[in-house]
């Protein structure tokens, strides 16, 4: 799958320095298994890039290569315009999928430690402000081992962003968070992006990817299969979807698969979702449906990212 046409033109027009991340033909193998296969990617500065893919598709390996925790077998990786290891490291914040904090340290000491590792000396009150922002003020003097899983995740998030990195790499940042805490973190992310931070994050939550991301990138079995804006992806992959609700009270043929232009039917009981084949005529379909029963709802929609994900990943876990 290549990048969407609009996105492709925009990317080609951008000067090279405006890419926060550039991957060219990057390959990484572990033993006999190719985790990432000839992957190329350009993440523009200031964008929010969503990174989706089934489990084991190579997302974490790609993120680790971008952070230089592991090195590719082949290809070129440039981060914030630099290829050397340490050059960009302090300007990159990385939140791994698995949270890892020193359990015996006090929260406030831990945040100071991570901040200083990024070359950032926190100013007086700065850590306290972050704790207040993420509703953790009462826990500043507590040891990490006293925190709940959600709290630990927020502490780890603060540790990642406290040095105000130019590039944020987040591996499943919202997993395990309740909606309130997820919303708090989302607000912080949006603010960071407004202030110029580029964000690349992996997620299994297609709703988050659709609402938060400027660009979406999907990797499957180590290879890139989607790359573009949501609209471009929908245009390229989405045959239209029609959601219909029929009144079957007076009987009628519930079999909709044989209707003209219908490629696939998902029956949700009261609602049926019909995926149309390319070039299908909505009006002909509506007429055919009216012949089957009383049509109470007929809604033409674009396919969701989840639909496209399932279509590409097939039976793989989403």
Residues near other proteins, by CB under 8 A: 64, 67, 69-70, 85-86, 89-90, 92-94, 96, 98-105, 113-114, 116-119, 156, 159-160, 169
67 neighbors 92 (Cβ within 8 angstroms): yes
Nearer to other proteins, 98 or 178 (CB): 98
Beta bridge partners of 51: 202, 217
Nearer to other proteins, 47 or 115 (CB): 115
Nearer to other proteins, 84 or 291 (CB): 84
Min separation Cβ 69 and other proteins, Å: 5
Nearer to other proteins, 64 or 275 (CB): 64
Nearest to 302 by CA among 243, 245, 244, 238: 238
Min separation Cβ 295 and other proteins, Å: 54
Nearer to other proteins, 99 or 243 (CB): 99
* Parallel, antiparallel or unpaired: strands 19-30 and 33-44: antiparallel
Min separation Cβ 285 and other proteins, Å: 51
Helix 149-161 to helix 126-133 angle, to the nearest 10 degrees? 140
Q: How far apart are CA 301 and CA 240, in angstroms?
A: 6
Nearest to 107 by CA among 85, 134, 87, 81: 134
Nearer to other proteins, 64 or 237 (CB): 64
Min separation Cβ 248 and other proteins, Å: 53
Nearer to other proteins, 142 or 229 (CB): 142
Work out the number of other CB atoms within 10 angstroms of the CB of residue 40.
15
Rg of the chain's alpha carbons, rounded to an integer?
23
Min separation Cβ 146 and other proteins, Å: 15
Min separation Cβ 243 and other proteins, Å: 42
Q: How far apart are CA 47 and CA 21, in angstroms?
A: 11
Min separation Cβ 262 and other proteins, Å: 46
Q: What share of the chain is helix, strand, coil (3-state, %, to 5)?
A: 35, 30, 35
Work out the number of other CB atoms within 10 angstroms of the CB of residue 74.
13
């Amino acid at each position: 799958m290549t990048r969407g046409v609009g996105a492709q033109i925009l990317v080609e027009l951008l000067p090279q320095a405006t890419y926060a991340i550039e991957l060219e033909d990057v390959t990484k193998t572990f033993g006999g298994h190719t985790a990432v296969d000839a992957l190329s990617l350009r993440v523009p500065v200031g964008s929010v890039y969503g990174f989706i893919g089934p489990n084991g598709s190579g997302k974490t390996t790609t993120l680790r290569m971008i952070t230089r925790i592991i090195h590719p077998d082949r290809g070129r990786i440039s981060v914030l315009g630099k290829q050397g290891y340490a050059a960009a490291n302090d300007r990159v914040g990385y939140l791994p999928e698995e949270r890892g904090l020193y359990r015996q340290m006090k929260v406030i000491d831990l945040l100071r430690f991570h901040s200083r590792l990024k070359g950032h000396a926190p100013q007086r009150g700065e850590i306290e402000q972050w704790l207040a922002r993420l509703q953790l003020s009462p826990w500043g003097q507590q040891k990490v081992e006293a925190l709940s899983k959600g709290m630990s995740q927020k502490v780890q998030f603060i540790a990642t962003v406290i040095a105000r990195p130019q590039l944020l790499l987040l591996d499943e940042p919202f997993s395990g968070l309740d909606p309130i805490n997820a919303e708090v973190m989302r607000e912080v992310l949006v603010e960071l992006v407004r202030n110029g931070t580029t964000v690349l994050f992996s997620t299994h939550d297609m709703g988050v990817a659709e609402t938060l991301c400027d660009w979406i990138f999907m990797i499957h079995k180590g290879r890139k299969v989607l790359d573009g804006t949501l609209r471009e992806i929908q245009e390229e992959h989405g045959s239209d979807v029609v959601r219909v609700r029929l009144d079957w009270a007076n009987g009628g043929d519930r079999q909709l698969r044989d209707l003209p232009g219908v490629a696939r039917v998902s029956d949700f009981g009261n609602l049926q979702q019909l995926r149309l084949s390319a070039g299908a005529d909505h009006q002909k379909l509506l007429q055919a449906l009216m012949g089957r029963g009383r049509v109470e709802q007929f809604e033409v929609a674009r396919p969701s990212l989840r639909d496209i994900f399932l279509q590409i990943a097939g039976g793989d876990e989403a």
